[in-house]
Structure 1
Amino acid sequence: PPRHPLASAAAPTETGTGDGPLVTAPAQALIDLLGVDPERVRALPVKVVRRADVERLAAAGLHASPTRREGGLDGSEPGPVTVDRGTPRTGGGSLRALSGNQRAVGRTVSLSHQTVPAAFAAVKVDVGEAVAAARDLTRRLRMLVGLPDLLISAVARLHHDFPLFFATLVDEGTARVPESPHVGVTIDLGTGLYVPVIRDANAKSVTEIAGELGAYRRLAQRGGFREEQLAGGNIVVTLHHDAGIVMAVPIVFPGQACAVALTSPQPEGERTMAVVGLSYDHRLINGRDAVLFLQALREALEGAPAEGL
């Protein structure tokens, strides 16, 4: 593809190399679209800046260190708000300041829609036996174990067979596959949306995952997450617990390849069914592989009680 220097690249860089990196046309278009600071682009340690580099740079801007508890879903600094809450406006109504957490959610969602060409597929899963097994564990261990814990475990265990589902796009022809699955999980208890990360989830039992997720829920109640608990995920599981929700289409987080959604189990005749959805970056994953991934998740959940949780 055609390449050209940054529009402002005539100024010398800090290292005194002159023009700085070359920028591909798709990368420059994204820089212009997102309003990325050219100085940040110039500081990238590459000779050629590609679109994927700009995506990662923009996503990194969402992960600044928090300085107060009302941070973003990824630990980002919310920034100042100058609008007074409840200020009357001419013509009725009033202005309301959004929380720092909600503004961080908005930035992440906007960046996802601007940069990720996502597709979606879903499968129905008979979760009756899995739910029963989780209830049995809850009773025996005297700790909450639920269907989300089973799904997180199942997702993590697919890392070996479906590595691109955990990958990061490096450039148009290359993806970086992580050594271990670090699974982010959405938690929203009314105090804001957070996505803490369960690291090395494939090496943990369902009960270990349940204990860690329970601790994260308690942290979410008071917004006391540390930055390292919210950063570093390479796939996300989004949870939609409310009864009556039959479908949920998650965003693909910038820098990741896909997101898995779980709806609340619903009775269908004598069976208990839930929908597992998958949003995926079409630059990394095609529909056939998405279907195989979902089928593998369905088999894992429907066969979970026989595998010794």
Structure 2
Amino acid sequence: MTDEFKFSDPGEGLQEAEVLEVLVSDGDTVTDGDTVLAVETDKANTDLPASFSGKIKQVKVAEGDMIEVGDVLMTYDAADDSGDDTEDKKESEKSKKAGDSAEESKEAEDGKEKETEDSKETEDSTENESRSEKNSTSREPVPAAPSTRRLAREKGVDLHNIEPSGKHGRATAEDVEAAASVSKGQKHSKKQNKGGQQEGSALIPSQTRLPPLPDLSQWGEVTRTPLRSIRRATARNMALSWGQIPHVYHQDIADITELERFRRSHESAAEAQGGKLTLTVLVMKALVAALKQFPRFNASLDVEKQELVYKRYFHMGLAVATDRGLLVPVIRDADQKSLIELSTESGDIARRTRNGEVSREDMQGGSITLTNPGAMGGSALSPLINHPQVAILGMGQARLEPVVQGDLDDYEIKPRLRLPLVLGFDHRVNDGAEAAQFVSTLIHTLADPESLLLNI
């Protein structure tokens, strides 16, 4: 019997991916767990393992295809199995019979007089359950124990609509309970928002619907290219950030003359241990010191519970420009690492990011993001906050500039190396006064590199 291997949710609600490489061909024999496709999902490369053992009949996708959850990737003839498959088939037949029986009962009730309200609610519940089970049996059964299937029927959960966490894609009782809890919360939210109120948190305003794009070809020749996975993910995340976070920017300039002398005096020691002591690394370490003094910049806002979540860790998101788009890998526990360690790790993760070797886990859990386009030019920028963070620090291009020192009657002009800084922050969490203090603390730390107390 020919079965279908479909693209399932790779985690955290992702719905699409781009096929990077097809690793099997028609007629190949695979074993459960063998990698059959390499795909890119939400800025990360992922190997897609087979959830079956058998012979590939037909591969349905090719390199460069965009796939969505539920799409058929390939068909296969399964190897002979026993146990779970037999159990699933029996359960499927039982569900089909139960669905047919419930449907027949419903037809027999047609034309009868309306009964009491309690009786009607019971009939409606039975009808919905039978329809759900009939729909479920039209698809291949989800592996699950009989007790789990019984629990799903009791909770009104369709096993096809949950992401199994058990071995070999087997649904568990915990999966069913979690799905039932989510469904209950959604119903409660709808009840609370009856009468025209918007669903969701009171901290999220209603959105204006985007108008359709006009026919641009009426004014001249146009060409179209697909928006691929990284660019699609960037567009989606930046729209979320700009649409939901009220951005405010505080700008200032740091005198990094002494910091640059400090960097040059220690860069050979860093290179000897495989690292590169860059200005970005130094700013990263100073940023940790500022976050410790102003913990609200190291928080996240839970809009549903209307609470601030303070992070007791300091994981630095580092923006890296690649041929595929801007990616933000995370350097963990920056507060616990020396300059040498940070210079080595930042260089390594930047290289792996450009080569497409980082995983999605490498880009999760950042406390704040540091972006440095200054090396490419530019005196200022307005970076967007990386949700669910509440702040981002941007670095402009450091320039040697004449600076007037002293007062009106006694002054002198000296060359100083100056670094433009811009802090983008979530105005729901912090105000302008805190932002000014945060950046001033950062500037004072950078002006006195010895205050970093780094273990070189």
Q: Structure 1 residues 198, 13: closer, same or farther in 2, change over 3 A?
A: farther
Write the mapping of 1:161-240 to structure 2, written as runs, cut at 5 A: 161-171=293-303, 173-240=306-373
SS at match of 1:20: helix
Give TM-score, length-normalised by structure 2: 0.50
Number of aligned residues: 247
User: Quick one: distance in 1 between partners of 2:301 and 2:203?
Assistant: 6
Higher helix share: 2
Q: Structure 1 residues 119, 225: closer, same or farther in 2, change over 3 A?
A: same
Larger relative contact order (Cα-Cα within 8 Å, sequence gap ≥ 6)? 1
Cα deviation per residue 1:15-54 (whole Å; 9 max; x = unaligned)?
38597222666xx9876xxxxxxxxxxxxxxxxx525699
Deviation at 1:182, TM superposition (A): 1.1
Which of 297, 303, 306 is the aligned partner of 2:448? Answer: 303
Give, as a single letter, the amino acid of the residue that structure 1 aligns with 2:431.
N
Moved runs in structure 1, 4+ residues, more than 6 A?
Answer: 10-13, 28-31
**Aligned-residue CA RMSD (Å):** 2.8
User: Quick one: distance in 2 between partners of 1:29 and 1:245?
Assistant: 45
Contact conserved, 2:315 with 2:365, CA < 8 A, in 1?
A: yes
Cα deviation per residue 1:206-233 (whole Å; 9 max; x = unaligned)?
2211111100121122111111110011
Q: Structure 1 residues 249, 19: closer, same or farther in 2, change over 3 A?
A: closer
Answer yes or no: is 1:264 the counterpart of 2:397: yes
User: Quick one: distance in 1 between partners of 2:427 and 2:186?
Assistant: 34
Write the mapping of 1:137-148 to structure 2, written as runs, cut at 5 A: 137-142=266-271, 143-148=275-280
User: Quick one: distance in 1 between partners of 2:184 and 2:427?
Assistant: 37
- Look up the match of 1:293: 438
- Uncovered stretches (5+) of structure 1, i.e. residues with no partner: 1-9, 32-48, 55-88
Answer yes or no: is 1:106 the counterpart of 2:235: yes
Q: Structure 1 residues 308, 175: closer, same or farther in 2, change over 3 A?
A: closer
Write the mapping of 1:23-172 to structure 2, written as runs, cut at 5 A: 49-51=200-202, 91-142=220-271, 143-171=275-303
Contact conserved, 1:52 with 1:169, CA < 8 A, in 2?
A: no
Q: Structure 1 residues 121, 20: closer, same or farther in 2, change over 3 A?
A: same
Contact conserved, 1:131 with 1:146, CA < 8 A, in 2?
A: no
User: Quick one: distance in 1 between partners of 2:281 and 2:185?
Assistant: 53
- Uncovered stretches (5+) of structure 2, i.e. residues with no partner: 1-124, 129-154, 158-179, 206-216, 403-414
Cα deviation per residue 1:78-100 (whole Å; 9 max; x = unaligned)?
xxxxxxxxxxx894232122332
Q: Structure 1 residues 224, 17: closer, same or farther in 2, change over 3 A?
A: closer
Give, as a single letter, the amino acid of the residue that structure 1 aligns with 2:277.
V
Deviation at 1:174, TM superposition (A): 2.0
User: Quick one: distance in 2 between partners of 1:29 and 1:180?
Assistant: 38
- Look up the match of 2:381: 248
Deviation at 1:165, TM superposition (A): 0.2
Give, as a single letter, the amino acid of the residue that structure 1 aligns with 2:316.
V
Q: Structure 1 residues 134, 231: closer, same or farther in 2, change over 3 A?
A: same
Greater displacement, 146-155 / 184-193: 184-193
Cα deviation per residue 1:249-302 (whole Å; 9 max; x = unaligned)?
111122111101111211112111111110100010000000000001101111
Greater displacement, 229-238 / 151-160: 151-160
User: Quick one: distance in 2 between partners of 1:13 and 1:108?
Assistant: 33
Contact conserved, 1:182 with 1:201, CA < 8 A, in 2?
A: yes
Contact conserved, 2:285 with 2:452, CA < 8 A, in 1?
A: no
Structure number with bigger Rg? 2
Write the mapping of 1:270-285 to structure 2, written as runs, cut at 5 A: 270-285=415-430
Greater displacement, 126-135 / 245-254: 126-135
SS at match of 1:92: coil
Contact conserved, 1:121 with 1:291, CA < 8 A, in 2?
A: yes
Q: Structure 1 residues 261, 20: closer, same or farther in 2, change over 3 A?
A: same
User: Quick one: distance in 2 between partners of 1:154 and 1:13?
Assistant: 53
